[in-house]
């Protein structure tokens, strides 16, 4: 069984995914880490040295490579993974166990402010403009995220409480 977690940066996909995998005795795969291991470069370095277009291209290729095996695993995707090319269609065809961890823009800003530096897409946004940026970005991305057959609204629950899916 493959379980896929998706959602905006900072929505807790990896934290929840790890707990869920343990509970279900499944392997846990962090898709960003999978890309990093294969490319032998960190995500910020890939963006810096090769640019976002390159990143999106390899992200799509690795996604297909990873999902085609029908692995027994919980896979937490990158925030942008479902939002490019035909990735979301591919995900939906690969497994019905797709979960969108949905948080408000306000909650996401709260979580992202302390860890902006590791996130190439938001690191240069001034703190005072983060809410406006994320509101708009999330609105655009929800077009893809909301195709998920399962939507988990996350408020103040602990990751352990969310991982009971």
In the annotated binding site, the residues are 10-15, 32, 56, 79, 119, 141
Contact call for residue 80 and ligand S3P (CB under 6 A): yes
H/E stretch holding 2: strand 2-6
**Which of 2, 1, 32, 26 minimizes the C-alpha distance to 14?**
32
Site for ligand S3P in 106-145 (CB under 6 A): 119-121
CB neighbour list of residue 114: distance below 8 Å, 6 or more residues apart? none
Contact call for residue 78 and ligand S3P (CB under 6 A): yes
Contact call for residue 159 and ligand S3P (CB under 6 A): no
Count of other CB atoms within 10 angstroms of residue 9: 21
Q: Residue 19 or residue 32: which is nearer to ligand S3P going by CB? A: 32
Contact call for residue 32 and ligand S3P (CB under 6 A): yes
CB contact at 8 A, 43 and 35: yes
Q: Residue 2 or residue 14: which is nearer to ligand S3P going by CB? A: 14
Contact call for residue 12 and ligand S3P (CB under 6 A): no
* Distance linking the first and last C-alpha atoms of the chain: 14
Q: Residue 16 or residue 78: which is nearer to ligand S3P going by CB? A: 78
Rounded CA-CA distance 9/80 in Å is: 8
Chain contacts with ligand S3P (rule: CB under 6 A): 9, 32, 43, 78-80, 119-121
């Amino acid at each position: 069984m493959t379980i896929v977690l998706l959602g905006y940066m900072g929505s807790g996909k990896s934290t929840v995914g790890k707990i869920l995998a343990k509970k279900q005795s499944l392997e846990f795969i962090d898709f960003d880490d999978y890309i990093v291991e294969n490319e032998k470069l960190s995500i910020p370095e890939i963006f810096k040295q090769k640019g976002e277009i390159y990143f999106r291209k390899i992200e799509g290729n690795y996604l297909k490579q990873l999902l085609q095996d029908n692995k027994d695993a919980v896979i937490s995707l990158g925030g942008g993974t479902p939002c490019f090319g035909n990735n979301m269609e591919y995900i939906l065809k690969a497994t019905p166990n797709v979960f969108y961890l949905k948080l408000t823009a306000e909650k996401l800003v709260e979580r992202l402010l302390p860890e902006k530096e590791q996130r190439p897409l938001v690191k240069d946004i001034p703190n005072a403009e983060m809410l406006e940026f994320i509101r708009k970005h999330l609105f655009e991305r929800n077009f893809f995220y909301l195709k998920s057959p399962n939507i988990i609204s996350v408020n103040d629950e602990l990751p352990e409480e969310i991982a009971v899916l």
